Structure formats: C-alpha cells, structure tokens
Amino acid sequence: MPTNAATADQLRWKKIPVLDDGFVCLVDVMGDDQAVVQAARVSYGEGTRKVSDDRGLIRYLMRHRHTTPFEMAEIKFLVRVPMDCWRQWIRHRTANVNEYSTRYSLAIDATQTTPALQWRSQATGNRQGSGEMFGEDVGAKLTAAETEFQTQARRLYEDRIAAGVAREQARKDLPLSTYTEAYWKIDLHNLLHFLALRMDAHAQEEIRDYATAIGHEILQPLFPLVWEAFVDYRLEATYLTRLDRELISRLIDRLASAGRCRGSIEDFLAVQDATWAGLNRCRERDECQEKLVALGLLEKNA
C-alpha cells in the first residue's frame, strides 16, 4: 500500500481536539506529493524520477508561486467549531461547504467556554488583536458571567423548542460560542493560503489553533514534501518589499561606515523611507523594523 494511502487510512475520521469541545478530522483526500509533481510535468504514472527530484520540483513551484499544480490535490474535512470562529473561517470562499443545519436539527448542545486565565485584553496598537492576559481574579468573574449567560441562553432555546416554536426561529438568540459542524472540502493550493493566513501570529488565537491542528496533524503527514516547502517559503519566510530592500541597503552602508554589524533604532529611523518620516504611526515602518530585528540587522530592543 502506498505510504500516503496508509497514512490517510490512519488519519481518516480521527478527531483531533481543538479548544474545549471542537475538533478537526480528515474525511477524505485525493492526491499526494506525487500528484503535484505529475501535474507540473503534465505526465501520468510515477515515472522514473527520484524522490529528490520530486522534492526539488515542489520546492521550485512553491518558491516561484506556481500554484496550479497544487490545485490537483483535494482534502475534505469534518470540523466542529464555535460559530464566531466559523464566521472568520467561512470568509475563505475557495472551499465547498455543507454546514450542520439548525433549521432541520436541534442546535448542538455545546458552547466554547473560557477558563479564568485565558481572558485577553484589547491590544492598544492593533484594533483587531489581543493584548495582555487578565489576572485570575478578573478572569474568574468573567468566566462565571459567561457560564451563567450560556446556561440561560440554552434554557431559553430549549423552552422555545418545547413550546413548539419553529427551530429556525427558536435558534435566533443562541450565543456565537455555540458549536457548529461542517464538511469543508478544499484544494491544496487554497488550503495552504488558508493556513498561511490563519497560522500567522497575528491571526485570532482560536482559529489559529484550528489551522495549526490541520497543518501539523493532517497536512504534514499527508503531503510531507509540500509541507516542508510551505514552511520554508511561506509560513516561516520573510517577505521583503522594495522599500525594505532599499532601506536595508542604506542601513548596511551606514553600519559599514561606522564599523558596526548591527544597528539601533536611531540608525533605522535615520535611513527609513522618506514616505514614513514624520508619521507618528506607520504600520509598514513597524513591520519593516520587525523584519530587520529577525534578520539580525537591528538590536532586539530596537
């Protein structure tokens, strides 16, 4: 039995837990690393190429953003996810979806809960991100209020159902923390795009947990060569813009003339792009600074 087929059999219908009551699991997969290679070579059969040749080709395709061969493989998942997280997920319109219907069936009797130590404050520098964690005392009060609200909302829903209210109407006051389930089928190219966005450190923690589970627990064992290239060239890569490259060149010249190999925030600001100068807040400048710290060209405390 081919390795990919054996791996798929081991993974199929295995529920990988995410959050407190969610999961992702593989339903089916069409294709493997070899399917990507075959599509790129427009050939049939395994041929006589070595694995090293396949690896090199996949890495070339990923590096140069030749996406069509990755569309030749497809993966179908079953996911159980809170509705507020699902709203972010479903924005990726490149998949085929069939979601659990609360018009036809009773709503799933499970909600995402938040432990006292997991409440996050609003970030001050990012309107859509999280900041520091709340202390346990504050978190305990928030969790207690959450539990009370979720219990009352479920009781209200069940009372309406018992009174004969239509399911499609009885559901309207269920909280977004209620879990839903869906089949989600997507080709490999679009799945990698989903993972690149949702495994990123700036993504919301909850959907990042789902993306990480899909990537590490399912995609990596099914497509090891594709995954390796994806990590190297997208997930853990650093993208440099034209402004970034020009700034780096100016910074290197400045450091070389001073006999130094690493700069400070003052050095960075001295060679920043002219369009950034004078701005109190500039996200592009901040992102460039983060890249240079990661590359070792600026001090970490810059």
The pLDDT tens digits of the residues spanning 66-94 come to 999 999 999 999 999 999 999 999 999 99
Catalytic residues: 198
Three-state secondary structure string covering 215-235: HHHHHHHHCHHHHHHHHHHHH
- Asked which of 235, 258, 280 is the last residue of a domain, the reply is 235
Q: Quote the tokens at residue 65.
A: 């953003």
For residue 268, being part of any structural domain is answered with yes
The verdict on residue 88 lying in a domain is: yes
Q: In percent, how much of the chain has pLDDT > 90?
A: 87
The span from the CA of 49 to the CA of 155, in Å, is 62
- Same domain for 92 and 35: yes
Quote the pTM value.
0.90
Shared-domain flag, residues 140 and 248: no
Residue 110: exposed, middle, or buried by beta-carbon count in 10 A (0-12, 13-18, 19+)? middle
Same domain? 199 vs 124: no
pLDDT value of position 251:
97
| Residue 49 pLDDT grade (very low, low, confident, very high; cuts 50, 70, 90) | low
Rounded distance between C-alpha atoms, residue 36 and residue 49, angstroms? 14
Measured CA to CA, the distance from residue 197 to residue 203 in angstroms comes to: 7
Please check whether residues 189 and 69 belong to one and the same domain.
yes
Q: Is the pLDDT of residue 164 over 60?
A: yes
Task: Summarize the chain as % helix, strand, coil (round to 5).
Answer: 50, 15, 35
- Confidence at residue 50, expressed as pLDDT on a 0 to 100 scale: 62
Pairwise CA distance, residues 99 & 173, whole Å: 19
Contact 234, 192 (CB under 8 A): yes
18 φ, ψ (degrees, to nearest 5): -140, 140
CATH of the domain at 56: 3.30.1360.170
Token pair, residue 160, equals 């309406």
Alpha helices (runs of H) in 91-201, residue ranges in sequence order: 136-162, 167-170, 188-198
Are 145 and 46 in a shared domain?
A: no
Give the count of domains, the chain.
3
Q: Would you state the pLDDT for residue 108?
A: 97
Domain identity same for 248 and 202: no
Give phi and psi for 8, each to the nearest 5.
Answer: -60, -40
301 located within any domain: no
pLDDT at 1: 37
pLDDT in tens, 225-237: 999 999 999 999 9
Instruction: Give the per-residue pLDDT at 176.
Output: 96
169/57 same-domain check: no
Half-sphere exposure of 229 (CA within 13 A, CB side): 23
Per DSSP, the three-state class of 65 is coil
Rounded to whole angstroms, the Cα distance separating 294 from 225 reads: 26
Checking if the pLDDT of 44 tops 90, the result is no
The whole-angstrom separation of Cα 234 and Cα 216 is: 15
Q: How far apart are CA 20 and CA 173, in angstroms?
A: 22
Residue 61 falls inside a structural domain: yes
Identify whether the C-beta of residue 116 lies closer than 8 Å to the C-beta of residue 136.
yes
Q: Is residue 183 located within the same domain as residue 101?
A: yes
Residues 12 and 93 in one domain: yes
Residue 162 belongs to domain spanning:
116-173
Please indicate, yes or no, if residue 299 is contained in any of the structural domains: no
The reported pLDDT for the residue numbered 46 is 53
Q: What is the dihedral of CA 24, 30, 35, 39, to 10 degrees?
A: -110
| Same domain for 136 and 280 | no
Dig out the tokens for 265 from the structure: 């925030």
Q: Same structural domain for residues 89 and 72?
A: yes
- Has residue 111 been placed in a domain? no
Asked if residue 298 lies in contact with residue 268, where contact means CB atoms within 8 angstroms, the answer is yes
Instruction: State the chain's mean pLDDT as an integer.
Output: 93
Examine residue 127 and state whether it is found in any structural domain, yes or no: yes
Q: Taking Cα atoms as reference points, which of 202, 192, 203 lies closest to residue 232?
A: 192
88 and 52, same domain (yes or no) = yes
